[in-house]
Amino acid sequence: MDFEKIYGAEEAQNCLTKVGRNEYEAIYGYGEDEMGGYNWRKRYDHKPAITEVRRDIESLINGKTDAAILTGFSWRGVSVYLSTENQFNFKASYDLAVQSSGATLPVKFKLGEDGDGAPVYHVFSEMEEFEDFYTKAISYVNDTLNAGWQDKDSVDYNDYIVED
């Protein structure tokens, strides 16, 4: 079982607790969404080693970071899907436009979809506009990765040591 959101939290409650004869529960982090404050919880049917808890928490953080990169960026009010493939395509086109002093423009990209699922396209005809888009997208990816690394680095795994 993966981590699940447990609502009703007001702050992080990082810990590992014995909840049954051979059952343990790891609680990690704090977040808020439209349903309120929550912590992440994972149940184990054994006493997990710290390395297992670390792996599971880092996997959770990686998943949240990846999801934020994919769907969290918007440019000029348009949600932009930043898959690895799209990032590569944006970079390749931007690099070619820079190297050719804009001779490869215009270039058209599907940025994402609207609320009804219809594709949203944008044509970049000017270097300034393309540069604005590309630098903001890359900055968003870098900031999001850095936030994920900071989350991983801030976990005190001593909070997950349980004496029986």
Q: Tell me, yes or no, whether 79 and 66 share the same domain.
A: no
pLDDT tens profile 105-132: 999 999 999 889 899 999 999 999 999 9
Number of domains in the chain: 2
164 part of a folded domain: no
Task: Report yes or no: 16 and 24 within 8 Å, Cβ to Cβ.
Answer: yes
Q: Tell me, yes or no, whether 81 and 142 share the same domain.
A: yes
Q: Tell me, yes or no, whether 41 and 107 share the same domain.
A: no
Query: Nearest CA to 40 among 54, 27, 53, 25?
Result: 27
Q: Tell me, yes or no, whether 144 and 78 share the same domain.
A: yes
124 part of a folded domain: yes
> What is the DSSP code (8-state) at residue 92?
H
pLDDT tens profile 134-155: 999 999 999 999 999 999 999 9
Domain span at 80: 73-148
Q: Tell me, yes or no, whether 87 and 128 share the same domain.
A: yes
Q: pLDDT averaged over the chain?
A: 95
50 part of a folded domain: yes
Instruction: Output the CA–CA distances (angstroms, integers) from residue 24 to 47, 52, 75, 144, 161, in the order listed.
Output: 6, 12, 43, 31, 11
> For residue 163, what pLDDT is reported?
81
Phi and psi, residue 121, nearest 5°: -105, 155
Instruction: Output the CA–CA distances (angstroms, integers) from residue 58 to 52, 125, 140, in the order listed.
Output: 10, 41, 21
